[in-house]
Amino acid sequence: MSEKFEGATTALITPLFDDGSINWRDLQNLVEFQVNSGINNLLSCGTTGQSPTLSWEEHSTITKTIVKINNNRIPIIAGTGSNNSEEAVRATYEAYLEGADATLHVTGYYNMPAQLGIIDYFSRVAKASPLPVIMYDVRGRGHPPIMPATRIYLAKNYPNVIGVKEASGERNKADWVETRRIARENGFDKHTFKIISGDDPATFSMMSDPEVEGVGVISVWSNILPNVYVSLAKALSEGNIEEGKKIDDSLKKLNSIVGISLSYQINIEDKEYQITNDSFRNPAAVQFAAYLLGMIESPRLRSPLVVLPEEGQKLVGKTFLELYESHPEYFKSLTEYFKPVPTIEDRLMRYR
C-alpha cells in the first residue's frame, strides 16, 4: 500500500451536460468508479477537470461534493492554485473547510513571477491552512519554472510543503535529479519530499530512476483505466521494473494522445484556409474517451475548450480499439461498473 498522496492519483474530469452545466450524477459515478477500482488518491479541479473554466464557487462545490461521495475512503487533493495569491489563499482555506486532504498549486501563469515571487506565493498558501501543499511545475502551460533550490527552500521553511508534481517534461530531467539531490542534502527522503509525475508518459522514467525516486503519478488516463495505472505505480514503487516496463510499454500509444495535434480547414466567405498542427490539449481527448466508452453523458467542454473534431475522435477511438484488442483485461473494471450499452467492443468497432 502506498503512502498518502503517492501511487496513482486521478486528475478527475468534470462531466457536463450539453448546456455546459455540471452533471452531478455523472460526477458521483466517476468518483465511485475510481474508488471501487482501487485508485490511491483523487484530484479535484485540476487541468483535466477544466479548472480554468470553473468559477471559484464551482471549485468549492465540486471539491465538497467529491469529499462527501468519497466519505474518507481515499485522500482527496483539491486544485486551488492561481496567479493571484489572495485568490489561492482563500481557495486553500476553503478546501480545508470542505474536508480536502491536500492542495495542489499551479502558480504564476501569464504574470510569470520570479523565484522570489514563487516563494512569496507558497509561503502564503502554506500558512493559509494546515493542509499539505503540493507544488505544480508545468512550464508548457505558460508557467514559470519552480527551480530545485526554490522547492527545497520552501519545504525546509514550511513543513506542509510536501513535494512537487513534476510536469516540466523529459527535456528538464536535470531539474528532477537536482531536486532529489538537494532534498537529500537537506534530510528529505523520497517520502518526506515527494516527486510526483505530472505527465503520464514520464511516469516510468521518473519512478524507475534512482536519481529521481518518483513516488507516483497524477494521471489523465487513469480516468478511464484506474486499475492499470495503480498496477503501474505499484510495480514501480516496489522496484519491479520489468513488470512496470511491460505495463508502460502497453500504454505508450495511449499516453501519446494526452494531447492531439490536428490539421484541418476552416471556411471564410466560401474560401478554405488550412489550419496546421492545431493543438487539442488535455482534457479534450480524455473527455471524449469517457463519453465514447459510456462513462459520461456528454463530451462537452466549456469554452474556449472544444470537443475534438472528427479527425481527433477517430484517433482516440482507434487507439482505444487497439488497446482493447490487445489488453481486454484492462477494461474489466470499467465494464463491471458502468455496464455500458452498447458494449465497449461495439462502441469501438466503428473505428476499425
Instruction: Give per-residue pLDDT as tens, 332-347.
Output: 999 999 999 999 999 9
Q: How much is the pLDDT for 2?
A: 65
Report d(CA 79, CA 135) in Å as an integer. Answer: 10
Domains in the chain with CATH codes: 7-248 (3.20.20.70), 255-349 (no CATH)
* Distance between CA atoms of residues 257 and 281, nearest Å: 9
DSSP-derived letter for residue 223 is G
Collect all residues with Cβ–Cβ distance below 8 Å to 142 and sequence separation of at least 6: 109, 110, 112
Who's near 149: CB < 8 A, 6+ residues apart? Answer: 182
Q: What's the whole-number mean pLDDT along residues 85-101? A: 98
Residue 139 has pLDDT above 90, yes or no: no
Which strand (E) or helix (H) includes residue 326? helix 310-326
Does position 174 have pLDDT exceeding 90, yes or no?
Answer: yes
Looking at the predicted structure, is the pLDDT value of residue 176 above 90?
Answer: yes
pLDDT, residue 1, reads 47
Which parts of the chain are beta strand (E)? 7-11, 41-44, 76-79, 102-105, 133-137, 161-166, 194-197, 216-219, 260-268, 271-280
Indicate the pTM of the whole model: 0.97
Whole-number Å distance between alpha carbons of 286 and 292: 10
Does the active-site annotation cover 136? yes
Using CA atoms, how far apart are residues 121 and 157, in angstroms rounded to an integer? 13
The answer to whether residues 154 and 127 touch, using CB atoms and an 8 Å cutoff, is no
| Among 56-70, 136-150, 199-213, the least confident range | 136-150
**Can you read off the three cell numbers belonging to residue 105?**
498549486
How much of the chain exceeds pLDDT 70, in percent?
99
Catalytic residue among 96, 153, 165, 194: 165
Q: Is the pLDDT of residue 323 over 60?
A: yes
Q: Would you say residue 327 has pLDDT above 90?
A: yes
Amino acid (1-letter code) at residue 201: P
| Residue 90 grid cell | 482563500
pLDDT, position 107: 86
The one catalytic residue in 96, 136, 229, 330 is 136
| pLDDT (mean) for 214-241 | 98
DSSP strand pairing (260-268 vs 271-280) = antiparallel
Residue 57 vs residues 87, 89, 104, 133: alpha-carbon distances, Å: 12, 14, 17, 21
What residues form DSSP beta bridges with 102? 77
Active site residue 165: yes
Q: Which three cell numbers stand for residue 296?
A: 459520461
Residue 131 to residue 115: CA distance in whole angstroms:
23
